[in-house]
Amino acid sequence: MTRRASDVLLEILRDEGITHVFGNPGSTEMPLMDALVDAPDITYVLGLQEATAVGMADGWALTSGKTGFVNLHAMGGLGNAMGVLVASKASETPLVVTAGQQDTRHLLTEPWLSGDLVALAAPVTKWATEVRRGEDVGKALRRAFALARTAPCGPVFVSLPMDVLDQPVEGPTPPASARPRLGASPEAAAFAETVAGHDPDRVFVLLGDDLPAAAAPGIVAFAEAGGYAVFGTQLTSRSAFPSAHPCWAGVLKPDFAAMRERLEAAETLVLVGGRAFVAYPYRDVEPIPAGVTVHHVADNAEAFGREHAAATALLGDIGATLAAAATRLAELVDGTAVAARLARRRAEKEAQIAAIRAEILAGADDGPLPPDLAVLAVSDALPENTLLANDSAATFGKIQDLLMTRPGRYFFARGGVLGCNMPAAVGAALLHDGPVASFVGDGGAMYSPQALWSAAHMRAKVLFFVFNNRRYGVLQNIARQLGCANAVAGRFVGMTVDTPAIDFQALAASMGVPATRADTVAAIGVAVAEALTRDGPSVIEIAVR
């Protein structure tokens, strides 16, 4: 059996569950584009800039739980995509990123569009390689998919010279290796017995920022078995615990001093996953108070000791490990006391939510809205089945404790790279059964505005909320916090976006997306209701202070 290497590539994509290929093509990618002509089961999603293509693939991967696939154009296209790849690596998003390379027969002469793609990709990927023979395409792709989805997950890069994809390949398509399957840690029961000996009101569960939605049932079961408080991090790439649950105690601000203050009451800290202590700017403070015992549950050995030493390190499937621990814990604790503790937490949570809502709603509804009030108005208007893609600083205030963050339905661009969120929302909308809300600031919206065109082209039901204060508000706040000369003088150099002001209505219209501006709570409700009736995207601009 003889086929082209590009046919082997498509067979592997189908076998890996790829329904969408994201990219921006050029001449070096023509063999793949030709192969896709006869592949109606695989949808090519065009991004008008490579960062947008990678961002859409990232959102698709996080929503599907599969590995996303991207095809970029040569050295320049990979260079354009680097910023979002930095974010994808930080979020541990499983991606197989490919790029066309010039014909191998004249690479020695350094022809136009050629370059050392592997060296460029290496710092932001788990593995980077260039295939030089058609018969190696299948093996390289199988390895790439396996590495991308192995914890800690992340992007993998394969350079595909254009002549290699056209080469004939004999024999069957290489099979995928069996996936490693972690079960529950064998120490789960002993861990539960240890935790059961501590005061339950002083046992805190802290979730890292890399937890998949599949881990949520086990985390919830463990929290409910002991009635324990569960904390998350503000800069989390995804949610693994429902914020409406009575055990949810909120997020820790990205400040070591603030974290330490919240954790002062802890006697035992159950750290789940990795990277729970994300802070900026630097403070010479230890986030965990002295004397607190740390138990760490993770699905990869790299997580242990990265941020804090642990008295117990449990390696295994996170959900299965905590579910097993919950079963044993339920045998050791007083069920009546746990039920009473959960009821108390529920009552306290309801009172806290009511108090925060009342405080936010008391904000002035004239002139630009306070960010908390603007976000609350949007949240109240969105339906229950909304998926939220967020990178807006407007959500960092009191409203953070009211955001509905649910497993599989909340993603945040935790890499600190602007330009990820809008395309990620488009990628998510290709799979999500319901609307997708993209929360973005005016500054961030200008990094990948091309996502609007892709959303219109694919008729993706995304509501893009642009919270517009005509400045880089986070940067100005940090300047004030650090006492920088910009803040002291009241002249923020390079931190305003007001001369000229960006016309988001015109920008959206140029991309084929209906847009409106809503500057009051009532207007926001009307705008959201109208957007939800559309079969496709909408932009809603909201002026905030």
Quote the CATH superfamily of domain 363-543. Thiamin diphosphate (ThDP)-binding fold, Pyr/PP domains (3.40.50.970)
Contact status, residue 458 vs residue 48, Cβ threshold 8 Å = no
* pLDDT value, residue 365: 66
CA distance 22 to 155: 14
CA distance 319 to 65: 15
* pLDDT value, residue 473: 83
pLDDT tens-place values along the chain, 545 residues long: 789 999 999 999 999 999 999 999 999 899 999 999 999 999 999 999 999 999 999 999 999 999 999 999 999 999 999 999 999 999 999 999 999 998 888 888 888 888 899 999 999 999 999 999 999 999 999 999 999 999 999 999 999 999 999 999 999 999 998 888 899 999 999 999 999 999 999 999 999 988 999 999 999 999 999 999 999 998 888 999 999 999 999 999 999 999 999 999 999 999 999 889 988 888 899 999 999 999 999 999 999 998 889 999 999 999 999 999 999 999 999 999 999 999 999 999 999 999 999 999 997 767 899 999 999 999 999 999 999 999 998 999 999 999 999 999 999 988 788 889 999 999 999 999 999 999 999 999 999 999 999 999 999 999 999 999 998 888 888 888 888 998 888 889 988 999 999 999 999 999 999 999 999 999 999 999 999 999 999 999 999 99
CATH number of 188-343: 3.40.50.1220
* SS3 per-residue string spanning 342-389: HHHHHHHHHHHHHHHHHHHHCCCCCCCECHHHHHHHHHHHCCCCCEEE
- Domain span(s) for CATH 3.40.50.970 in the chain: 2-170, 363-543
pLDDT tens by residue, 368-384:
999 999 999 999 999 99
* pLDDT value, residue 57: 98
E-strand ranges in 24-132 read 43-46, 68-72, 95-101, 128-130
* pLDDT value, residue 544: 95
- Domain span(s) for CATH 3.40.50.1220 in the chain: 188-343
pLDDT tens by residue, 434-488:
999 999 999 999 999 999 999 999 999 999 999 999 988 888 888 888 889 988 8
CA distance 423 to 506: 19
* Fold (CATH) for 2-170: Rossmann fold (3.40.50)
Alpha helices in 157-278 (DSSP H): 162-165, 188-196, 216-226, 256-263
Instruction: Report yes or no on whether pTM surpasses 0.85.
Output: yes
CA distance 436 to 61: 15
CA distance 494 to 499: 11
* pLDDT value, residue 535: 94
CA distance 544 to 519: 8
* pLDDT value, residue 203: 98
Residue with tokens 């699905």: 299
Q: Which helix (H) or strand (E) segment is 241 a member of?
A: none
CA distance 49 to 41: 24
